[in-house]
A and B are shown apart, each in its own frame.
Chain A
């Protein structure tokens, strides 16, 4: 069949190839997983089951259940974010859908969308499907993979229309403080950029509270925030996320969402509502465990002499392997049965690095790091 050009423009992801390599082997310990090893909190799961038993299987309002939007509005006040549940919040099928509809609602054919890299792999395809042109803005380990004014300037982002910002970052684990964000906000205001801030890892920061760029002066009106339940509440398979933004942007996104999705999964909305109501303790417990594993992984890499900056968010470490990341990852898989993801898959600046996920129980993590140590020595 004849396929649309926009599909051919997007190559299959490099993740896929590594997945296939890993699947060919038995007894692999995988540090290549981009989702929590925990299950969703039991209270959220039972709320989903209850809703099914009560026969709650119809569509919801396009924007999501009103009570859920209210709960989201209340919840995000912890990040000093203030959004009107009627006009400024859209409940989506994962943050993934929020990213997609935002691109389609805010990017015109020919528009340039700057994306700092290394970064999560779905932005560039989303931009291309919307007809826009991605512009890579490399970040560097010397700066702890934070995005700087200088990085933006050097890569020509001044001429861009939109900037995608993802902190805490997948794959580096980098975070940005209010101070760090100030210069990015300044750049966005100076060059009139719309900012799409993917804050899905906001709850997983280990160095103090997450700051949203939308809360900096003059930024709320030019920022759409993505967040969701996948990472913080270990609810990846339930597919639920949301977007926060000014009424015109959220309204435009809803225009697309109402035709392409109608509404986010109803059962998941009940689980999410319960998650917000009663599962804060579960989130704290998961974060505590990730933080212990984070310290463990960082100190192991230190001991092995692999250069690793101190990642303070999400559940990834991003050590430098001292050579070709792809060759390293492949040989590590073949010789030691440990899967990690080569950094270059996440874009410019990722070469030479490995994304090591610590969303894995301590026993496997210990064993995997021992194997990596054997491999490098």
Chain B
């Protein structure tokens, strides 16, 4: 694996790893790690670093929904234009063009179901090219970005073994 790819893998599993520890794990020196990460950020490969949060453990309401979106394109408007309009809303956590029965999959986040459905009906549905929206509220999250939710497994190995 090349050094950049190796760093990317490490950051994907733990973006909080500091430069010295990244260097120790890869065999690169700290300055090399710094400059490779700077390159990854500058060329737009790495766009940000975020925590994976179990919202059930956070005080206050937090609602997530997956919204299916169908659109009708015309001569002037393509997927790109529609996507650009939708991504600008802060309530939109992710937006993807997908294959299959509908066109876009949107992850919407808000403080209440009301918030989310209002947002969909008042901001998304009225977009002229949008022909249909179907909102699915998330009821439980079991795994996100490779991380399992819920109780963690205890290490039940013997503390010293041959």
Closest beta carbon of chain A to B23's beta carbon, Å:
8
B residues less than 8 Å from A23 (CB atoms): 159
Contact B24 A19 (CB under 8 A): no
Contact B161 A34 (CB under 8 A): yes
Interface size on B, residues (CB 8 A): 18
Contact with A along B1-42 (1 / 0, CB 8 A): 000000001100010010001011111000000000000000
Contact A33 B160 (CB under 8 A): yes
A residues less than 8 Å from B43 (CB atoms): none
Q: Per DSSP, are chain B's interface residues mostly helix, strand or loop, or mixed?
A: loop
B153 at the interface (CB under 8 A from A): yes
Contact B24 A299 (CB under 8 A): yes
Nearest-CB residue, chain B, relative to A21: B160
Contact B14 A362 (CB under 8 A): yes
B residues less than 8 Å from A120 (CB atoms): 162
Nearest-CB residue, chain B, relative to A18: B160
A295 CA to B3 CA in the complex, in Å? 14
A110 CA to B155 CA in the complex, in Å? 43
Known: A22-B160, A295-B24. 15 other contacts (CB 8 A): A23-B159, A32-B159, A32-B161, A34-B162, A37-B157, A39-B153, A121-B162, A288-B9, A292-B26, A293-B25, A296-B24, A299-B23, A339-B159, A362-B21, A366-B21
A151 at the interface (CB under 8 A from B): no
A258 at the interface (CB under 8 A from B): no
Interface residues of B in 139-162 (CB under 8 A from A): 153, 155, 157-162
Contact with B along A281-316 (1 / 0, CB 8 A): 000000010001101100110000000000000000
Contact B155 A122 (CB under 8 A): no
A296 CA to B27 CA in the complex, in Å? 8
B residues less than 8 Å from A35 (CB atoms): 157, 161
A37 CA to B152 CA in the complex, in Å? 14
Contact B161 A295 (CB under 8 A): no
Contact B159 A30 (CB under 8 A): yes
B residues less than 8 Å from A34 (CB atoms): 161-162
Q: Which residues of B contact A (CB under 8 A)?
A: 9-10, 14, 17, 21, 23-27, 153, 155, 157-162
Closest beta carbon of chain A to B47's beta carbon, Å:
24
Q: A292-B10, A362-B14, A366-B21 are in contact. Are A33 and B26 (CB under 8 A)?
A: no
Contacting residue for A295 out of B17, B27, B157, CB 8 A = B27
Interface residues of A in 1-57 (CB under 8 A from B): 13, 15, 18-19, 22-23, 28, 30, 32-35, 37, 39
Q: Which residues of A contact B (CB under 8 A)?
A: 13, 15, 18-19, 22-23, 28, 30, 32-35, 37, 39, 120-122, 170, 288, 292-293, 295-296, 299-300, 339, 341, 362, 366
Contact B24 A339 (CB under 8 A): no
Contact A296 B25 (CB under 8 A): yes
A197 CA to B160 CA in the complex, in Å? 25
A residues less than 8 Å from B27 (CB atoms): 295, 299
Closest beta carbon of chain A to B96's beta carbon, Å:
25
A127 CA to B10 CA in the complex, in Å? 44
A126 CA to B160 CA in the complex, in Å? 21
Contact B25 A33 (CB under 8 A): no
Contact B159 A19 (CB under 8 A): yes
Contact B24 A33 (CB under 8 A): no
Contact B161 A292 (CB under 8 A): no
Contact B26 A295 (CB under 8 A): yes
Nearest-CB residue, chain A, relative to B9: A288
A30 CA to B24 CA in the complex, in Å? 21
Contact A295 B162 (CB under 8 A): no
**Which are the 9 A-B pairs with shortest beta-carbon distances?**
A32-B160, A19-B160, A292-B25, A30-B159, A299-B24, A22-B159, A296-B24, A34-B161, A296-B25
A residues less than 8 Å from B155 (CB atoms): 37
